[in-house]
Amino acid sequence: MATVSVQSPAATATTRMVSLDVLRGITIAFMIMVNNNGWQAYWPFEHSDWNGWTPTDMVFPTFLYVVGVTIVFSTESRLKRGGSAGSLVPHIFQRFAILFALGVFLALFPLFHWSNIRVYGVLQRIALCYLVCALLYLWDRRLKNPVAPLVVLLVVLLVGYWVLMRFVPVPGYGVPGRDIPFLDKDANIVAWLDRSMHIGRLWEKTRDPEGLLSTFPAIGTTLLGMLTGMWLRTSRSIERKCAGMLVAGLVLILLGQLWHPWFPINKKLWTSTFVLFMGGCSMVLWALLIWLIEIKGWKKGWTFWLVFGMNAIASYAMSDLLVAPLWAIRVSPRVSLGAWINARTFEHIHPPGVGSLLYSIAFTLACWLPMWVLYRRKIFIRV
């Protein structure tokens, strides 16, 4: 079940990297913004329609990257406090179940039309990636060389996914690149499997960006976070660790771009190039935050991000709990409460992109305020 810890942020900062909480907070803030980006958002606040990427596409993989890092830190912390690897297994499954159930609940809230249930989703993917990688880390950390198996698994996942997408015939369509266009929106093995399994509603009707098969390369994103966490636990200096992350991140970005012509960067399919490119971006961003906060000592002025970062799942749930009633409650048969509010405020702002952006910012601030109250009272909700 979820737990609530009451502790001082200052005390917490001595046992955890403030830069990681800031990175998590930035990710959650922009996740809330782009999920509620109004009616005419500027392109940086929209997902790429298919191949390619926008800054918005960085949000979800960065959070999964942070999940991977956190698996390493939290597991080692629990073991250091006297827990055993065996005792952590039930906790891992419990956390997986809560995250997955919460994702399904938020997808149904507030009308709970069970015939329209969506089993796939953001929290559900986070839960699956967490489960696999947390169990994997418990097994892997006992090995003499724990890094090598994770690197091999990462390569197998990325190369294997490319082989699957490129060479395996799609039933009813044919071989990609020969009978059908490679990475066709609907005629690809990922979309076909999601349609064939009939597991609830698909987000885009004929496919789902959080579908089953694309979760496997998403595990690769989490593995990159785990490898980074393991690197940071070595005895090297913080300056050398930061430099190593920066170099590794740039290499991953380059590899993603070099592979892109043959396997395009695609968030909705979570392609292998997407894993490499966005994993590199996450690594570089965190390296910069480590340099600013942990090395240069600039620890002030991050409160806005820490409020989200130290109550990440609660912040994300708050955004869903707030937005759903806005569009479910009707002020008239044809007008929702959210549309009514917009019609009297933000839609009067020109150009429309500015009004849309201000709506997104206002909504994010509305989610931030209750999290700020929890932060001030030193209440941090853990799953």
Average pLDDT over residues 196-224: 94
Question: Is 5 a residue whose pLDDT tops 80?
Answer: no
Does residue 39 contact residue 349 with C-beta atoms inside 8 Å?
Answer: no
Residue 3: per-residue pLDDT: 53
Cis peptide before 370 (omega within 30 of 0): no
Q: Hey, CA dihedral for 268, 273, 279, 283, is it positive or negative?
A: negative
What tokens appear for 322 in the block?
């707030």
Residue 8: per-residue pLDDT: 40
Instruction: Give the whole-angstrom CA distance, residue 359 versus residue 317.
Output: 19
Instruction: Give the whole-angstrom CA distance, residue 245 versus residue 46.
Output: 28
Question: Is 110 a residue whose pLDDT tops 90?
Answer: no
Phi-psi region of 339 (alpha: psi -120 to 50; beta: other; left: phi over 0): alpha
Does residue 234 contact residue 241 with C-beta atoms inside 8 Å?
Answer: yes
Q: Could you read off the pLDDT of 250-261 as tens digits, one per residue? A: 999 999 999 999
Question: Is 15 a residue whose pLDDT tops 90?
Answer: no
Instruction: Give the whole-angstrom CA distance, residue 19 versus residue 96.
Output: 25
Instruction: Give the whole-angstrom CA distance, residue 255 versus residue 94.
Output: 37
Q: Could you read off the pLDDT of 279-321 as tens digits, one per residue? A: 999 999 999 999 999 999 998 999 999 999 999 999 999 999 9
Q: Could you read off the pLDDT of 230-251 as tens digits, one per residue? A: 999 999 999 999 999 999 999 9
End-to-end CA distance of the chain: 6
pTM: 0.93
- Angle, CA of 353, 48 and 265, to the nearest 5°: 155
What tokens appear for 12 in the block?
């917490």
Q: Could you read off the pLDDT of 179-206 as tens digits, one per residue? A: 999 999 999 999 999 999 988 899 999 9
Residue 333: per-residue pLDDT: 82
